[in-house]
């Protein structure tokens, strides 16, 4: 005969519901072991009564409920036992203890601290040596200690001795180089006074002293592309006007076509002359400013030298200010030279023309200027056109003469 087993049920004081007897409430998580401690006598009494009822009903087959689970639960949930449990103390294992029982297969491969303790400096890197030994040695071999102990000490000695020898040997060529550098310095001392004078003349070119100095400055000048284009177009315009008048004089062009082309050349020439005048005015203004700054820098340096001579300025102050004045003088000299060269380039249209072509144009222009009255008398042109031609020829000849 089988009996129905019912789990023990408690009334949770928190959620007020009947739940199985466990450590915590399965519904709300309330700690039920506190309730179990308080209601321990009542539970034992109920359990005994329940057992008695079962015995009265069935005499032949009696199934007794084993109280062991209840006792085990009570022993687990008591707070006194939880508090009184002490942590297990762990005994330290000594360094010198025998470890053969733990790893019997690799006892011979292990090295004791007394045998292999060495202080390695930071500059040494012995990892390469150790890796080679570990890779080549079979761990199953019993003679491992004899392989590892051999090459360790001589490797460290070689690493320490090698950089010292190289550093001492590197000092010797430094002394030799310093001695060799002195030779070209001694050779430069034997320069004659005539060579020095020639070098000074080549380096120190005067800015505005004579015509030769001006010529050197202009030859070294490289005009701006815009300036060069204006000057070349102006020279071409002058040449075309003179040659067109010569064609009219010789009858090579009709008066109507001449008037049309000559008027266009005049308009174009006026624009180019205005551009040239504006550039020249700007260059002259900059040149005047640079010359004033150069003069001021020279005066400042001269004043500083005089003040140093009469001990109005200390040597330290002179050494601090003199290089600044000298730098300004050198810079302004260069700028003045460039502006002067640009000014000469704009003033002289002949610099962008060939010398043979200039003389030819002058001859043609002078001949056309003399024959203007004859062209008017032959009804080739009217008085107004003749006046324009005369003024244009005068300006063209003034530019190229």
Mean pLDDT of the chain: 67
- Residue 395 domain-assigned? yes
The CA–CA distances, whole Å, from 367 to 235, 239, 360, 370, 371 equal 19, 14, 11, 5, 6
Q: What domain range includes position 48? A: 9-82
Reported confidence tier of residue 68, pLDDT bands at 50, 70, 90: low
Cα–Cα distance between 22 and 135 in angstroms, integer? 60
| Residue of 236, 240, 275, 239 whose CA lies nearest to 261 | 240
pLDDT one-digit tens code per residue, 112-131: 444 444 544 444 444 444 44
- Residue 108 domain-assigned? no
Of 22, 47, 82, the last residue of a domain is 82
- Residue 4 domain-assigned? no
- Residue 77 domain-assigned? yes
Task: Retrieve residue 173's tokens.
Answer: 């060529």
What pTM value is reported for the model? 0.44
Please tell me which residue, 71 or 303, carries the higher pLDDT value: 303
As for how many domains the chain has, the answer is 2
Question: Crossing angle for the helix pair 255-309 and 315-347, nearest 10 degrees?
Answer: 170
Contacts of 326 (CB under 8 A, 6+ apart): 301
Reported confidence tier of residue 18, pLDDT bands at 50, 70, 90: confident
pLDDT one-digit tens code per residue, 271-302: 999 999 999 999 999 999 999 999 999 999 99
CB–CB of 95/113 below 8 Å? yes
1-5, 220-224, 344-348, 360-364: which has the minimum mean pLDDT? 1-5
| Residue of 217, 211, 201 whose CA lies nearest to 334 | 217
Cα–Cα distance between 44 and 308 in angstroms, integer? 121
Cα–Cα distance between 277 and 275 in angstroms, integer? 5
Residue 282: per-residue pLDDT: 94
- Residue 164 domain-assigned? no
pLDDT one-digit tens code per residue, 164-181: 444 333 344 443 433 343
Residue range 119-146: average pLDDT?
45
Residue range 217-233: average pLDDT?
79
Residue 5: per-residue pLDDT: 64
Of 25, 55, 82, the last residue of a domain is 82
Residue 3: per-residue pLDDT: 53
Check whether 10 has a pLDDT greater than 50.
yes
Check whether 353 has a pLDDT greater than 50.
yes
Residue range 225-247: average pLDDT?
92
Residue range 178-203: average pLDDT?
39
Check whether 334 has a pLDDT greater than 50.
yes
Reported confidence tier of residue 58, pLDDT bands at 50, 70, 90: very low
Give me the phi and psi of 18, to 5 degrees please.
-80, 125
- Residue 148 domain-assigned? no
- Residue 310 domain-assigned? yes
Of 35, 55, 82, the last residue of a domain is 82
- Residue 51 domain-assigned? yes
Check whether 73 has a pLDDT greater than 50.
no
The CA–CA distances, whole Å, from 162 to 122, 127, 290 equal 16, 18, 65
Helix (H) / strand (E) containing 20 = strand 18-20
């Amino acid at each position: 005969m089988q009996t129905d087993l019912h789990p023990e049920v408690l009334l949770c004081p928190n959620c007020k519901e009947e739940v199985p007897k466990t450590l915590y409430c399965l519904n709300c998580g309330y700690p039920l072991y506190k309730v179990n401690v308080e209601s321990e006598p009542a539970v034992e009494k109920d359990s005994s009564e329940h057992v008695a009822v079962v015995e009265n009903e069935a005499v032949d087959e009696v199934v007794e409920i084993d109280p062991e689970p209840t006792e085990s639960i009570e022993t687990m949930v008591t707070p006194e036992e939880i508090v009184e449990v002490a942590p297990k103390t762990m005994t330290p294992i000594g360094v010198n203890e025998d470890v053969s029982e733990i790893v019997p297969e690799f006892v011979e491969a292990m090295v004791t601290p007394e045998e292999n303790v060495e202080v390695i400096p930071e500059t040494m890197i012995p990892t390469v040596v150790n890796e080679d030994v570990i890779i080549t040695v079979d761990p199953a071999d019993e003679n491992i200690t004899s392989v590892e102990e051999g090459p360790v000490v001589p490797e460290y000695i070689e690493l320490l001795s090698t950089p010292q020898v190289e550093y001492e040997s590197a000092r010797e060529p430094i002394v030799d180089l310093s001695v060799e550098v002195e030779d070209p310095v001694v050779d430069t001392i034997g320069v004659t006074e005539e060579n020095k004078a020639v070098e000074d003349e080549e380096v120190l070119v005067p800015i505005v002293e004579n015509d030769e100095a001006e010529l050197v400055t202009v030859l070294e000048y490289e005009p701006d592309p815009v300036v060069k284009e204006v000057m070349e177009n102006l020279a071409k315009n002058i040449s075309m006007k003179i040659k067109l008048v010569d064609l009219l004089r010789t009858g090579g062009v009709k008066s109507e076509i001449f008037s049309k082309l000559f008027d266009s050349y005049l308009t174009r020439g006026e624009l180019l002359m205005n551009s040239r005048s504006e550039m020249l005015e700007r260059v002259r203004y900059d040149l005047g400013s640079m010359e004033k700054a150069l003069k001021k820098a020279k005066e400042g340096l001269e004043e500083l030298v005089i003040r140093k001579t009469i001990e109005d300025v200390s040597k330290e102050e002179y050494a601090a200010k003199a290089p600044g004045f000298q730098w300004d003088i050198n810079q302004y000299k260069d700028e003045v030279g460039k502006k002067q060269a640009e000014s000469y380039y704009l003033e002289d249209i002949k610099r962008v023309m060939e010398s043979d072509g200039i003389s030819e144009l002058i001859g043609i222009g002078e001949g056309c200027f003399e024959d203007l009255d004859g062209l008017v008398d032959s009804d080739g042109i009217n008085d107004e056109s003749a006046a324009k031609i005369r003024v244009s020829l005068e300006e063209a000849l003034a530019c190229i003469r």
